[in-house]
Amino acid sequence: MDGDKHVLAVNNLTGRTLVLNRPQALNSLTLPMVQTIERHLKNWEHSELCNVVMLRSNSPKAFCAGGDVVQVSREWKSGNKAEAMKFFQTEYMVNHYIASYKKPVVAMLDGYTMGGGVGLSMHAAFRVASQSAVFAMPETKIGFFPDVGATFFLPRLDGHMGVYLGLTGQMLKGRDLLYSGIATHYVPSERHAMLEQRLQGLGSSDYDVVNDAIEEFVAQPEDGLMEYSLYHVREAIDRCFQHNSLESIIHALEEEKQHSNEHTSAWAQTTLDQLSRMSPSSLKLTLEQLRRGAQLNIQQAFALELGLAEKRLESHDMHEGIEALLVRKTNDPQWDPKSLEDVNVHEMNAGYFTAKYAYKPKFVHDQAAFSEYPHKYGLPSEKEIAALISGENPQAGNFRLTRDDVLQFYEREYGGKIGVKQKVGWVFDNLENN
């Protein structure tokens, strides 16, 4: 089976590793690969010999660059619609399975982690990024929408950053993944093999024990500084992407370009350029999807995505985007509608969000319908930090805390976790300066 050739299973002591092994396609997921992953996960979940499951790639270039949407598009256009939808149905089931897995799952991210690769990793309790890890959800560029559970996880990132990432397909690299909440740990790639060996011999399924083991391999930031590509534009992201229409977002970006400092002005122009290349209908669809996703539990999110995938396969733009960018590779998609003004939001909502869907999601753990991930081992969110600083968090007591008080609190709460000091200090300074 191609799935067994492209997904290798490694058994060592009490650790089990799934190794993505389709390097010529940057580990793009096929249906047989997803089915192989599902089969191994089911076997290992019930095995007393397995304590920890790991996911990694055999290629330093990519953990997984996405799903094989070229094949999906071909299946749909050839009339084999059920087979095309089976890919998404199975992929989303595996994504949800990882999110609700009964044992610790550790995804080790090296190289490109996009689309389907994000679905395999973002739902894992532990997400370990290296210096070469590159995250992106570029689906609007091919006329699709951010899927694989992005409806659930993007709205739960700091502020309006998830909407920004979902609309623009902006890449985040290395430590960006840690500070944004996409990764839980930062471990240089040269330590990944040692980390895998450590987890294989750990002999425990206790999440805190697994976390402590990973923490043994994390790397300190150079000079103790916060290496975050969004450092200077985080507030601008929230100012611009807080709006509920694309027209308002673009107007805010134009304002930002004209009236902000050098950093944010250049960022605003770059962002406008990014949005101008995306499918107009995908952009409006994605904004509505993510706004709704903030109120959905994880099963509802996947159910919505399956319905949207079905409707999107019926559209012109998805097939046109795939042809132009992934088949012809001319990067000249002819979108229809051609502009944001030509996309009627009311008609779009009726066609995508209130329509009946022919395909229903399947879940291995059909009782797992949480609204927040059950395990949190990343850095504290900006919202959590701000609540403590402002006194909204009861743990702050009746007094406004100083910078040192806040730092000491989080250092204690997170056991000296690397990255906490940098993020907490940054949030505190931002609040003090506004």
- 139 noted as active-site residue: yes
Computed on alpha carbons and rounded to an integer, the radius of gyration of the chain in Å comes to 21
- 351 noted as active-site residue: no
Catalytic site residue from 68, 110, 139, 288: 139
Task: List b or e across 98-112, with b for residues whose CB sees 16 or more CB atoms inside 10 angstroms.
Answer: bbbbebbbbbbbbbb
Catalytic site residue from 38, 91, 110, 147: 147
Q: Would you give the distance in Å from CA 198 to the centre of its chain?
A: 26
- 116 noted as active-site residue: yes
Cα distances from 53 to residues 13, 44, 107, 181, in angstroms, run 12, 8, 9, 21
Contacts of 353 (CB under 8 A, 6+ apart): 288, 292, 304
d(CA 311, CA 88): 12
With tokens 């002819």, the residue in question is 334
Q: Check if the beta carbon of residue 58 is closer than 8 Å to that of residue 23.
A: yes
- 15 noted as active-site residue: no
Catalytic site residue from 67, 111, 169, 321: 67
d(CA 311, CA 158): 30
The answer, yes or no, to whether the previous bond of 23 is cis (omega within 30 of 0) is no
d(CA 169, CA 146): 9
Q: Check if the beta carbon of residue 303 is closer than 8 Å to that of residue 149.
A: no
Q: Check if the beta carbon of residue 278 is closer than 8 Å to that of residue 338.
A: no
- Residue 399 Rama label (left phi>0; alpha psi -120 to 50; beta): beta
d(CA 344, CA 7): 43
Q: Check if the beta carbon of residue 95 is closer than 8 Å to that of residue 149.
A: yes
d(CA 433, CA 418): 25
d(CA 21, CA 25): 9
Q: Check if the beta carbon of residue 119 is closer than 8 Å to that of residue 137.
A: no
Tokens of 90: 């199975």
Residues that are catalytic = 67, 116, 139, 147
